[in-house]
């Protein structure tokens, strides 16, 4: 499978960067139940005022996370190695554009092609990966999508791409769903060179 990979696409939060986003805290600020899917629930709000208030809370939360973002272990080194290998790369995130740009600039992340929920339907919808495949000139089944959450795996599956789970903490529960599992991002550079 690794010989088929012509491009690597990354999730942002929890994969390349740690924005210290506590979604339980966000749900508390919003007054929503613990297991609520944030963007999906936001889309169901009928009252314009409630929707506007919720959007403001979410925006402030995301910007706060972007301002506090730091590299995940070995993420910066991995990107440098993939750049040296001339591996095409992109980022697909559920974050909004403003917070993503703030994070990208603050950490000087060396990836030019970045799609957010402002440019494509939010994950796990596949359109973002399809747009990236088109812009990179590769087929979806030549992409390895690297992420840390179920939505990342579902996005890859929905788009017809391969998926890699960056395993840590309690996300090991998704490992059996992924094509590739790494516990250290540098394992990915070795795997791609095999």
Long-range contacts of 101-106 (CB under 8 A, 24+ apart): 102/63, 102/66, 102/67, 103/12, 103/17, 103/19, 103/65, 103/66, 103/69, 106/66, 106/67, 106/69
- Structural domain range at position 186: 2-18+70-193
Same structural domain, 128 and 176: yes
Burial of 75 (0-12, 13-18, 19+ CB in 10 A): buried
Say if residue 116's pLDDT is above 80.
yes
pLDDT, residue 123, reads: 95
Helix 48-67 / helix 23-30 crossing angle, nearest 10 deg: 150
When pLDDT is cut at 50, 70 and 90, the band that residue 2 belongs to is: confident
> What average pLDDT does range 60-65 have in this prediction?
94
Same structural domain, 75 and 57: no
Same structural domain, 121 and 100: yes
Same structural domain, 28 and 113: no
pLDDT, residue 98, reads: 97
Return the higher-pLDDT residue of 7 and 21.
7
């Amino acid at each position: 499978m690794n010989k088929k990979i012509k491009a690597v696409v990354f999730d942002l939060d929890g994969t390349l960067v740690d924005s210290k986003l506590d979604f339980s805290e966000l749900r508390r600020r919003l007054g929503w139940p613990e297991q609520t899917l944030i963007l999906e629930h936001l889309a169901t709000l009928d009252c314009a005022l409630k929707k506007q208030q919720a959007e403001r809370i979410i925006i402030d939360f995301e910007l706060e996370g972007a301002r506090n973002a730091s590299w995940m272990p070995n993420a910066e080194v991995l990107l440098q190695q993939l750049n040296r290998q001339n591996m095409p790369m992109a980022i697909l995130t559920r974050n909004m554009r403003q917070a993503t740009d703030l994070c990208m600039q603050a950490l000087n992340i060396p990836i030019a092609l970045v799609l957010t929920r402002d440019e494509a339907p939010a994950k796990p919808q596949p359109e973002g990966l399809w747009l990236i495949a088109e812009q990179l000139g590769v087929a979806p089944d030549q992409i390895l999508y690297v992420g840390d959450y179920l939505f990342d795996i579902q996005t890859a599956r929905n788009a017809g791409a391969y998926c890699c789970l960056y395993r840590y903490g309690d996300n090991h529960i998704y490992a059996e769903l992924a094509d590739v599992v790494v516990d250290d991002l540098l394992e990915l550079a070795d795997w791609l060179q095999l």
